Amino acid sequence: MKLSDLNNEQLKAVKATKGPVLVFAGAGSGKTRVLTYKVWYLIKNKIYSPKEILALTFTNKAASEMKERINKSIKCDGVTVGTFHSVGARILRKYIKNLDKRYSSDFTIYDGSDQKLILKEIIEELDLNNYKELNPNLLRAKIDSFKNASMSVKDVQSEAHGFENEKIAEIYNLYLEKLIQNNAVDFNDLILLPIRLFKKNKSSLKSYRNLWKYILVDEFQDTNSPQFELISFLSSGHKNITVVGDDDQSIYGWRGANIDNILTNFKDTFPKAVEIKLEKNYRSTQRILDGAWSVVSNNTNRAEKKLVATKGQGEKISLIPTGNDKEEALAVADSIKKDIKINKSTFQDFAVLYRTNAQSRIMEQIFMREGLPYSIVGGTKFYDRKEIKNVVAYLILICNPNDNIALKRIINFPVRGIGEKTIKLLNDLANKKETSLFESLQFAEELKLRNKQCDAIANFYGSINKFHNLLEKLDCKELFRVILEEFNIEYYYKNNPVEQDRYNNLQELKSSIDHFAETSGGGLREFLQEIALYTDLDDWNNKQNSITLMTVHAAKGLEFPTVFITGLEQGLFPLMRIDDSIDQFEEERRLFYVALTRAMEKAYLLNAHYRRRFGSQNTSSFMQSDFLNEINKDSLKLKKYKSVYTKRVVNSANGKTVKVARTVTEFDDFAVGDMVQHNLFGVGIIIVLNGAGENQKVGIEFKDGLKKKLIVKYANLKRID
């Protein structure tokens, strides 16, 4: 690393090593460079030792990349680089007993599915199954919003009016109690509980203030109120803190992010903060930047800045209106194929962005048919797959026997003859003896179960206990393999022909644990924490040669030579309802800004006049997005989706030369003269092509002169090259 690699503003941000610093870093302006160079500068000049530096990010991927960049230039062992949640977990592992003696350091971190299982239990206990508005999904969202706003049970109870709200308050209280009973925390607790700890136990706060003497925060615009409170606690003594962010990229208001943290709250908390703006862009062309700015500049709640490209003007942004969602997908596919053919691009150069995950279906369908390789960010995560959840539940229970969610998941996997009725009896026994569900297993004979059931429960209890006692003696590689053998898990999947994919995933998990043990040196507890904090982006491999499909939210922080932004229609992007506020609309604008600034060289904007939504067989008509009305027209070029009528001479299957007519579009799937394979009629040649999209019709002459008219969407035709 050399300071000469930095521009003047970047250098100013790096050299500001005393007191609070607020850096407004526009898209592609080198904010990650500033953060990594600053850590390097602090260590190189011996201003702070590595162990005195804390760098906070929002994703594991960003944390890993930052560590990797710093390590290339200087030894930085001891620097704490992690997400807010991983650092919160680190604090709680050490001090959670000071907060509540019912907790132990082996607590489990619950994900969304675990939260919903607890809420389902509570709903059943309170006999609220008939109240549709009190479902696990809604309740989880409510509880997350309470925690994002730092609301206690008392706060919620004081604002509860009416039956539904009173029950929600009651459920919230029971939910928190069950977390403690299970020795578990949820994601929000990883921030909230350290704050409670610091308020209650000043010595623990003092220890971390003395430990981390310089704090850096990435993506500061995405912090919520508890996260801001946490870093304020940690830095309030020395006030040596640098935060980097872009208010124009604040897109997580729906999950509690507070844009005012970067616009006003930081300067209110640290009035002597130095403010620096990074406006030189190293990613995109000027036309892309001007197009993005022309939309986001309509927001009233923002800090004024305008990015200047170092890459020149570049080509105009393409706008492609289409008739329906299938045509939209075809337009994307055709544009990619043309670019690859003409410019020798690779598939990994392209990203297709959409507002909702549901939009990927039609895109996948078309890409599969066209033979275009793609990968989706945001599908079922590896660690969310059933077989992986089951195996991981064994690991969790061995670390934390109080985790009832993990226990219930695996007590009858593989099958042991322990059904729901038996689990309920065990639960009642646990309540009677005032013990945990796991500890109640040793008293199972009191329930007068069948001998086979008693033996199964006793064996299960004994094995889990045995491995719990071996936690400190075996590394996680050894432990995992012994567990697979002890509980016949690997045998179960390996010898079941229909479970081969699950068996392969199990082998992948084995490899994952091996890699973790070899690279980190951590044990089972550390491995479980790592996967609990796993995100969709951690699954994404930008090295594989495939087109990336993802939501705009998932694309944040990434960049691609060519980006397609689809679904630019009112009600979809922006995704707005009648009762939505101006603040919500401004966030949608920022989301569009994020989408467009992912593009380095080329950007395509697409919409459809008709689109199927939410699984409906009927199409709905849409008006084009307001963003297309706001965008700078000088940065835009229109690519019309037009039909043309042509005649072509082709050779038919029986050797005759014929003239055929066709109506084609700019983005046709098939062409007259194409050789195709049909499952029933065999090989034939297309002699007539009519229409476009999913209602496209083809006339095909098969062998022996057989002629058939077929609708493309039902015919399942395969092109023969």
**Spatial CB neighbours of 67, under 8 Å, sequence gap ≥ 6:** 76, 79, 81
For residue 281, report the phi and psi dihedrals to the nearest 5 degrees.
-100, 130
Is 696 labeled as catalytic in the residue annotation?
A: no
How far apart CA 242 and CA 31 sit, in angstroms, is: 11
Is 624 labeled as catalytic in the residue annotation?
A: no
Choose, from 12, 15, 17, 32, the residue flagged as catalytic. 32
Choose, from 67, 167, 598, 612, the residue flagged as catalytic. 598
How far apart CA 614 and CA 634 sit, in angstroms, is: 36
- Residue carrying the six token digits 């675990």: 114
Choose, from 36, 115, 242, 249, the residue flagged as catalytic. 249
Task: Report, in this order, helix, strand and coil percent for the chain, each rounded to 5.
Answer: 50, 20, 30
- Look at the alpha carbons of 660, 661, 666, 670 in this order and tell me if their dihedral is positive or negative: negative
Is 249 labeled as catalytic in the residue annotation?
A: yes
Residue 110 contacts residue 118 (beta carbons within 8 Å): yes
DSSP state, 73? T
How far apart CA 137 and CA 130 sit, in angstroms, is: 15
Residue 423 contacts residue 405 (beta carbons within 8 Å): no
Write down the number of H helices and E strands in the chain.
Answer: 30, 25
Residue 323 backbone zone (phi > 0: left; psi -120 to 50: alpha; other: beta): alpha
Choose, from 9, 10, 31, 83, the residue flagged as catalytic. 31
Q: Structure tokens of 71?
A: 């390590």
User: How many C-beta atoms surround the C-beta of residue 433 within 10 A?
Assistant: 12
How far apart CA 550 and CA 354 sit, in angstroms, is: 7
Residue 54 contacts residue 275 (beta carbons within 8 Å): no
| Residue among 679, 677, 672 at smallest CA distance from 696 | 672
How far apart CA 25 and CA 34 sit, in angstroms, is: 9
SS (H, E, C) 650-717: EECCCCCEEEEEEEEECCCCCCCCCEEEECCCEEEEEEEEECCHHHCEEEEEEHHHCEEEEEHHHHCC
3-state secondary structure of 156: helix
Which helix H or strand E contains 522, and what residues bound it? none
Is 219 labeled as catalytic in the residue annotation?
A: yes
Q: Structure tokens of 212?
A: 């981390």
Judging by DSSP bridges, how do beta strands 184-186 and 108-110 pair with one another? parallel
Choose, from 219, 222, 530, 586, the residue flagged as catalytic. 219
How far apart CA 671 and CA 330 sit, in angstroms, is: 14
Is 612 labeled as catalytic in the residue annotation?
A: no
Is 218 labeled as catalytic in the residue annotation?
A: yes
Q: Structure tokens of 41?
A: 């500068």
Residues comprising the chain, all counted: 721
How far apart CA 71 and CA 74 sit, in angstroms, is: 5
Residue 327 contacts residue 692 (beta carbons within 8 Å): yes
Residue 707 contacts residue 699 (beta carbons within 8 Å): yes
Choose, from 52, 218, 290, 328, the residue flagged as catalytic. 218
3-state secondary structure of 401: coil
Residues annotated as part of the active site: 31-32, 218-219, 249, 598
